[in-house]
Structure 1
Amino acid sequence: MAGSADADNNIGKYRKISSQANTKPPSWLVQRLEGTGIKVNGPNPWDPQIHNRNFYRRVLLEGSLGAGESYMDGWWDCERLDGFFTRLMDRHIEKEITGRWIAVKHWLMTRLMNLQSVKRAFQVGEQHYDVGNDLYKAMLDPTMCYSCGYWHDAADLHAAQVAKLDLVCRKADIQAGEKVLDIGCGWGSFAEHAARHYQANVTGVTISKEQKKLASTRCNGLPVDIRLQDYRSLQGTFDKLVSIGMFEHVGQKNYDTYLGKAHELMDDDGIFVLHTIGKMESQLGTDPWIHKYIFPNGAIPSLTQISQACEPYFVIEDVHNFGPDYDRTLMSWLDEFNAAWPTLKSQYDERFYRMWTYYLQCCAGAFRSRNLQLFQLVLRKPGAGHRRYQSPR
């Protein structure tokens, strides 16, 4: 994502001609925005400012993909994208303003193909997680957690992430010396916390080369083994399993494989803590813009889909939804990213900046409107020691 003068010049060009272009919104858009509090070219910080009249046709034909790409191209701006998306999603307007063919194409791809096959599993690592450890170090807190913090008693991002890691350890009832598997270990935040504070022996797996490199460095000297490996090839038995923010990459066609593998890997008296973003409705696939630019091959599950997939393997002992905490987490990441941008922009062009800030704020709006949730589930095998589970929260 090196700097690109051409990309920056094109973005600036559309802003300069905004006063000359006829950017009056078409009636179909005005009608759909009624009741949202959003006014095209309006005075509020959440009102979109249109610089290129071709924006409307692009959104009509391509839906969210066209909206996101045209923002990246500088065709429109919005001072508070998080407020814009919250208002859209509060009224579910994003479902009406959509490119039908793009949506159908994406649905068919998800239906007919296994977008999260072993062969494709490393794509998200290469495109998203390997974009640069410098970026993530600047945006994330010192734990390097890239998942929702737990803000129940936390005053800042770091405290929220430490609280989340400790909550997972307590839900898993991790004891000293236990073998713990972290499926999708990221930059080693949970592995380091569990090994350092709970004296666990942790094996972490990731599909990102950059994550493995940094996680191994951060966990040096601790009883932690970080592997570049797909979960389907794992062998052995573990006392406890944890997966934080990885299930979103598994895909509906692989839920049975994933949970069957977790069942196989876990001791009969073990505990599995599964932390994942969730949808309100059971659907296939994900947003086309998110799929193309942020998380290729991703799939956000509903609670129904998770529950059905668990039935052959696990008892669901506890479900904890703290989705609103992700809004606060994302906005904290946005603040950190913006503060670090002067030192990052020599490596990333303005189009990347617009893409990244769009991503963080549209996701914040989705959680704020409660279109997206954050689920933590505690899973055990049926009859696991006939021991009653007590949630620590």
Structure 2
Amino acid sequence: MADAASRLTALAEELLAAPAPVRVRAWDGSESGPPDAPVLVVRRRRALRRLLWKPGELGLARAWVAGDLDVDGDLYAALERLAGFIWEREGEARGALEAARDPRLRAAAAALLKLAGPGLPPPPPPEEVRRRNGTLHTRRRDRRAISHHYDVGNAFYELVLGPSMVYSCAYWSDGGTLEEAQRDKLDLVCRKLGLAEGDRLLDVGCGWGSMAIHAAREYGARVVGVTLSTEQAAYARKRIAEEGLTDRIEIRVQDYRDVSDGPFDAISSIGMAEHVGAVRYREYADRLFALLRPGGRLLNHQIARRPERDESAYHVDAFIDAYVFPDGELAPVGRTVGTLEDAGFEVRDVEALREHYALTLRQWVRNLEERWPEAVRLTSPGRARVWRLYMAASALAFERNRIGVNQVLAVKPGAGGASGSALRARVWTDAPGR
């Protein structure tokens, strides 16, 4: 077992047929690999068993969340080096380890198994979502999925998100702070919706109430906000009372599918549609269309993935599904626009904010890292590690154009196809950052 790092490096290079992208520090204190590269710390041998039993992203994620793997130094640099082996070549790695038709690869896998030590794979960390049964995106299953991600303590979200308590892409201008960028994003949404005094706004997935407060306080809107998170709703109501806006804002713990008191002049859906799922997206579009008055506007702010050759398949990220957003799905922006049009909307504008989200995520990671002991105390070591990995990896995914985020402005046409109210909404072009 002496010099485990050298053995790990040699085996990894043989299995991946490429030079080691990072330096390795093993559980015995040995190090091997490029001297100027980020250091991947293998704290325990059981990390190898996790990888052997679940090759690819999920095995690495389990080892990371459990603390079996760590990075010494710049996490972004390490993920950049590993990206080609985790995401872009995950299928190749899985094939090499699971099929191993090549005798050379079989021998390398056997050596790695010996190095991993005896025993079955360790159980997944407790932060992992347990086995889910039943139909995707029923009301009950969606409530559980939302609770897994959002009901982990408002104090933890305050630490990560900062005073704005906005959990979606900010809108950055030169030299601005996170709070200023989030304020500018909320204002951008209100301007695109053309909100005016007395307008009735439905905020779908209202989070901690930031959009509802901004629309009511700055534009005089009357707002109904809906969320499935009881912790979010309690926090939002407290903020609204402190702002003196209880006469203008109502927060409900309610599924958007159960909202029945339309029509609304405008609907904002910011970072919520990712939870809807492909099987329910047309239902989502139809429901929002029905809740708007003729001439009413929808602003749909949604993360998108790149189109793939097989669009009939169920596309999920193993780590995100198991640890971050259970049952969440991303769709290409073209599919989103097409579904909204199929539901009867006229799409008036699409704005890509990909680079803005990368900047936002890097700021959230910085907030987390600067107050790491407090974050661990508020949740758990595993949960804090989940967030650090998911946000850092997501920042790189936006920067590398693997995913994007878009604001789609759509109008419910009035009599004779009129969309005159959209002209009133077309006042955002001088917003910061454009």
TM-score w.r.t. length of structure 2: 0.77
Are 1:27 and 2:8 matched, yes or no? no
Aligned pairs (5 A) from 1:198-217: 198-217=219-238
Are 1:137 and 2:158 matched, yes or no? yes
Letter in 2 for 1:245: G
Letter in 1 for 2:346: V
Q: Which residue of 1 aligns with 2:249?
A: 224
Which of 40, 50, 62 is the equivalent residue of 2:42? 50
Aligned-residue RMSD, C-alpha: 2.7
Gap regions ≥5 residues in structure 2: 25-32, 96-130, 430-434
CA 1:98–1:300 in structure 2 vs 1: closer, same or farther (change >3 Å)?
farther
Q: Which residue of 2 aligns with 1:254?
A: 280
CA 1:296–1:187 in structure 2 vs 1: closer, same or farther (change >3 Å)?
same
Q: Give the stretch that moved more between structures: 198-207 or 43-52.
A: 43-52
Q: Which residue of 2 aligns with 1:379?
A: 410
CA distance in 1 between counterparts of 2:209 and 2:94 reads 39
Gap regions ≥5 residues in structure 1: 1-16, 101-108
Q: Which residue of 2 aligns with 1:82?
A: 76
Cα pair 1:319 1:377 within 8 Å, conserved: yes
Could you tell me how far 1:28 is from its partner in structure 2? 4.7
Indicate the SS of the match to 2:392: helix
CA distance in 2 between counterparts of 1:143 and 1:272 reads 23
Q: Give the stretch that moved more between structures: 366-375 or 246-255.
A: 366-375
Q: Give the stretch that moved more between structures: 224-233 or 277-286.
A: 277-286
CA distance in 2 between counterparts of 1:291 and 1:28 reads 30
Indicate the SS of the match to 1:316: strand
Could you tell me how far 1:93 is from its partner in structure 2? 2.4
Q: Which residue of 2 aligns with 1:279?
A: 305
Aligned pairs (5 A) from 1:39-118: 41-44=33-36, 46-52=38-44, 55=47, 58-59=50-51, 61-62=53-54, 63-78=56-71, 79-89=73-83, 93-96=88-91, 99=94, 114-118=135-139
Sequence identity percentage: 33
Indicate the SS of the match to 1:74: coil
Which of 164, 168, 171 is the equivalent residue of 1:147? 168
Give aligned pairs, total. Answer: 366
Q: Which residue of 1 aligns with 2:99?
A: none
Q: Which residue of 2 aligns with 1:329?
A: 360
CA distance in 2 between counterparts of 1:350 and 1:387 reads 50
CA distance in 2 between counterparts of 1:74 and 1:45 reads 21
CA distance in 2 between counterparts of 1:45 and 1:237 reads 58
CA 1:195–1:153 in structure 2 vs 1: closer, same or farther (change >3 Å)?
farther
CA 1:163–1:213 in structure 2 vs 1: closer, same or farther (change >3 Å)?
same
Q: Which residue of 1 aligns with 2:382?
A: 351
CA distance in 1 between counterparts of 2:161 and 2:231 reads 15
Letter in 2 for 1:48: L
Letter in 2 for 1:23: L
Q: Give the stretch that moved more between structures: 208-217 or 341-350.
A: 341-350
Could you tell me how far 1:202 is from its partner in structure 2? 0.6
CA 1:19–1:122 in structure 2 vs 1: closer, same or farther (change >3 Å)?
farther
CA 1:19–1:359 in structure 2 vs 1: closer, same or farther (change >3 Å)?
farther
Cα pair 1:326 1:367 within 8 Å, conserved: yes
CA 1:174–1:356 in structure 2 vs 1: closer, same or farther (change >3 Å)?
same
Indicate the SS of the match to 2:152: coil
CA 1:272–1:155 in structure 2 vs 1: closer, same or farther (change >3 Å)?
same
CA 1:87–1:144 in structure 2 vs 1: closer, same or farther (change >3 Å)?
same
Indicate the SS of the match to 1:374: strand
Higher RCO (Cα < 8 Å, 6 or more apart): 1
Q: Which residue of 2 aligns with 1:293?
A: 323
Could you tell me how far 1:88 is from its partner in structure 2? 4.6
Which of 165, 183, 195 is the equivalent residue of 2:204? 183
CA distance in 2 between counterparts of 1:387 and 1:264 reads 17
Which of 288, 304, 309 is the equivalent residue of 2:334? 304
Q: Which residue of 1 aligns with 2:115?
A: none
Q: Which residue of 1 aligns with 2:432?
A: none
CA 1:169–1:65 in structure 2 vs 1: closer, same or farther (change >3 Å)?
same
Q: Give the stretch that moved more between structures: 354-363 or 263-272.
A: 354-363
Q: Which residue of 2 aligns with 1:13?
A: none
> Which protein has the larger Cα radius of gyration, Structure 1 or Structure 2?
2
Indicate the SS of the match to 1:203: strand
Could you tell me how far 1:31 is from its partner in structure 2? 2.4
TM-score w.r.t. length of structure 1: 0.85
Residue by residue over 1:320-364, the C-alpha shift from the partner in whole angstroms, topping out at 9 and shown as x without a partner, is: 111111111111111111222333433433223322211211111
Indicate the SS of the match to 1:170: helix
Cα pair 1:23 1:51 within 8 Å, conserved: no
Indicate the SS of the match to 2:8: coil
Cα pair 2:155 2:378 within 8 Å, conserved: no
Could you tell me how far 1:290 is from its partner in structure 2? 1.1
Cα pair 2:23 2:37 within 8 Å, conserved: no
Indicate the SS of the match to 2:361: helix
Letter in 2 for 1:341: W
Q: Which residue of 1 aligns with 2:193?
A: 172
Cα pair 1:270 1:381 within 8 Å, conserved: yes
